[in-house]
Every structure is written in C-alpha cells, then in structure tokens.
Chain A
Amino acid sequence: MATVAFTPQLRRFLAVPDVDTVAATLREALEAAFALNPRLRGYVLDDQGHLRANVVVFIDGRRSSDRIALADPLAPHSRVHVLQALSGG
C-alpha cells in the first residue's frame, strides 16, 4: 500500500497520522486521508478542491505536477509527503 505522510507543522492544528491506502492516484490517496479526518481537507485543498498554492506534495521523491485534478499516479508502495511550501511565508 502507498503511505501518505503529512508535515508535522499541521500538528499545531490537528492530528495527522500517516495514512496507508491502496489509492492509485494522489487524489484518491488524499480522499482516503480526508475520510479519516474531514477537517484536514481545508488545510491541504482550497475551496475549489485544488492543492493549496503554498502546499507541495512529493511522490517518491518527485514533486507532484497536477495541482488541480491531483491525478498524479501512485505505485503500490509509493511514499507521499504533503508539506508546506516555503513560498507560504
């Protein structure tokens, strides 16, 4: 299964344990995390469901490229990191 890990900075606001998922895309993986923690959605995605401008996602060491549909594919054992982008101040 793929694993999604969230920046520990988010612990100031909510619990963010790693999430294991069989998701095939980044969108599906994030939805799996949001299903466990609905409040997390607003920290990662904007009102339109796009990746927040100052959040960055790495999949197996490579930055995700689709910030709108979040259709980047995941491998069965992908490691996903959801991090704050330094552009956010």
Chain B
Amino acid sequence: MDSQRAWVASRKGLFELQRSGRDWRIARVSFLGEPVSMVLPPQDGRRMLAALNLGHFGVKLHASEDAGATWQEVAAPSYPPQPDGAAGPAWNLLQVWSLEAAQGVVWAGTLPGGLFRSADFGRSWQLVDALWNRPERLEWFGGGYDVPGIHSICLHPQQSSELLVGISCGGVWLSRDDGDQWQLQADGMRAAYLPPDLAGSPNTQDPHRIVRCDSAPEVLWCQHHNGLWRSTDNAGSWQELQGAPMSSFGFALAAHPREPGTAWFVPAQADECRVPVDAALVVNRTRDGGRSFDTLRRGLPQENCYDLVYRHGLALAGDGHTLLMGSTTGNLWGSVDAGDSWQAVSQHLPPIYAVRLG
C-alpha cells in the first residue's frame, strides 16, 4: 500500500493528498460540495472508485481510469424489486459504506445491508443473494443508521474465494466460496446493549470495524460497540481484550500488516457521549495482541477537543508506521512513527468519513 498518496472522503468532496517527507499536502479536490461516503484507491496504479451519497438524488458511483484526474459515472449497485410483503427494510440503496477489490473483483458493502459484487470494475453489480436471503438478515438492525449496513469487507490474501464482512448490527459473516455460502462467525462477542439473555447472540453483534492482518490472515481485530475483540483463528472464535486505557468504546482501528500483535484504536468516551475522554484526543496502540496498550497523545489536541474518528477514519500504510487519522470535525493528522507523534495535516476539512492510503 502506497504511503506517499492518500484519499480523504468527506462530507463535501474527495481530497487527494501527496506526501513529501513528513508533510502531506492537498493535491486535488474532486466532487467538491458532494458527500463522498467511500473511496477505493487506485488499483494497478490507476483504476479507482468513489461513492457519492447525494442528499436528493441518491447514491452514485464514479470511476476513474487515471488515478482521480478525471471521473465518469458508472452504475451504482441497485437492489432488485422488493417482493410484496417482504419483511425488513425497503430494498433501496441508501449508502455505499465499504469498497474493497482483489483478483479483478470489486465488493461493495451497503446500507441497508446488501453486499454487491462487480467483475467489471463497477460497470455492473450483482447483489450477493446468498447473504441477502439469509433468514437471519431480518433480525439485523441499524447501528449508527436506521438500517443495517456492511462497513467492513476483509478479503483473504491467500484464499481468493474467501471473504469476511462486518455488519452493524448483524455480526460477522464468512464465506469461503466467493459468496455462495455464508457462516455467522461472531462467537465470543457480547452485546451489552441487548437484554442479558440475548447478549451472546452472534447475529445481533455490532462490530464497528473489523480489520485483518495481511501477513497473518487468521488474525482479525474488531472495535465493537462495547469493547475490543481479537480472533486468532479466522473468526472461529473471538476473545475480548480487557483493560484498554481511557475507554473501549470507539469506531476506528488499524492493524499492522506484518505484526499480528499490533493494532491501533481511537477511544471515545462512551456510546452516550461520543467525544474524546476528557476532551483530549488519544490513540491506543497494542503490540502484544491486546494484553497491554500504549496511549499515544503527542501532537494531538489535549484540551477542548471534541473530534470523533469514524470507522474508516484511521488508515495505516503498508510500511506499518505511516498513519493518517481524520475526524468528524474536519481535522486530519499524520504520523510517520507508528503513532508515537502526530502532526496536523489540515484543520479545515469537511467532516471526514474515510481515509485511505494508496
């Protein structure tokens, strides 16, 4: 993953950043004024996608063949006709929340909970019926939005037909056959927001974000609605990480691509008060699989700070030490030393939905 270029999807446009030494500068703005809910950085150095969420006119998808210099609208994922009387949310695309690509296939996770697949880089999309038609889907519910959504798509670097998705609120689902069959894989998670006898139900867990370790793909990290979890057996079981400093509530996480014990989290005070603890922004980093954490705060605002970092607001480059973090308040910070220190990149961006390197 390129550590010299980054993309910021925001409430009012898509920003391309270029790095020179420790400094990042804004090199280009696309879709100024439009909400950009997600971006897929250039694949093969040039082909990329941007998902717009127009307030009046719906979700649109744009493709670039020249790394963001020019864009063309392509087909957005579309839900099929909803059968009369079908239960659950309306079959209407409300947002593209996640985009991932590998082996010539692009996957889009959406609100209200559908996963879509494109084999022609967004020219056409197919709803993954096998997941959408699972009866368990009707038990999913909204987390952060009124309807369920797929925010995390974890592809497997060694098994091209395997993918895992995280759903708020619908647990963790794994397919080993390119999406034809799915298994619910959230054993060990706990939902503190449900009645006690339902807390262990895998299908109603709220994983805020799930990220896989590239070089040890059986290791997965999860920032959950009410805690941190880690799996070392490809989501066969999940173990809660106790003792994170400040708070275990939050949204964003980053996983080191080569060190399966290293990950970063951005704590917020609590579900009912989504601001930094004591109005001081910090990042928690573990290097021992979650047994202990360093709380990193150098260069981050330590008073009167009310920034929240969304699910996709923390990005890590393939070098394992270049980080970018963007907030709902439009602040963007960079680190070149694995989070030990941070520098403000911009303090005047629109609310940031996603940051990606590459």
A85 to B93, CA, bound (A): 19
**Contacts A39-B73, A47-B79, A48-B92 given: A89-B60 contact, CB under 8 Å?**
no
A14 to B175, CA, bound (A): 39
Taking the closest CB of chain A, its distance from the CB of B76, in whole angstroms, is 7
Interface string of A28-65 (1 = CB under 8 A from B): 00000000000100111011100010110000000000
**Which residues, 62 to 89 on A, are CB-close (under 8 Å) to B?**
84-85, 88-89
**Contacts A39-B73, A42-B60, A48-B81 given: A54-B92 contact, CB under 8 Å?**
no
Q: Which of B54, B56, B79, B90 has the most chain A CB within a 10 Å cutoff? A: B56
The bracket for how many chain A residues form the interface is: 10 to 19
A44 to B60, CA, bound (A): 12
Instruction: Count chain B residues whose beta carbon lies closer than 8 angstroms to a beta carbon of A.
Output: 17
Taking the closest CB of chain B, its distance from the CB of A86, in whole angstroms, is 9
- Which chain A residue shows the least CB distance to B59? A42
Taking the closest CB of chain A, its distance from the CB of B52, in whole angstroms, is 9
- When distances are taken between beta carbons in the complex, the residues of chain B under 8 Å from A46 are 58, 92-93
Taking the closest CB of chain A, its distance from the CB of B129, in whole angstroms, is 15
- When distances are taken between beta carbons in the complex, the residues of chain B under 8 Å from A89 are 55-56
- When distances are taken between beta carbons in the complex, the residues of chain B under 8 Å from A48 are 79, 81-82, 90-92
A76 to B58, CA, bound (A): 31
- 7 tightest Cβ-Cβ pairs between the two chains A and B: A88-B56, A89-B55, A84-B56, A88-B55, A43-B57, A47-B79, A54-B56
Show 17 A/B contacts (Cβ-Cβ < 8 Å), sorted by A: A13-B57, A14-B73, A39-B73, A43-B57, A44-B57, A46-B92, A47-B78, A47-B80, A48-B82, A52-B56, A52-B57, A52-B58, A54-B55, A55-B56, A84-B55, A85-B56, A88-B55
A residues sitting closer than 8 Å to B (CB atoms) are 9-10, 13-14, 39, 42-44, 46-48, 52, 54-55, 84-85, 88-89
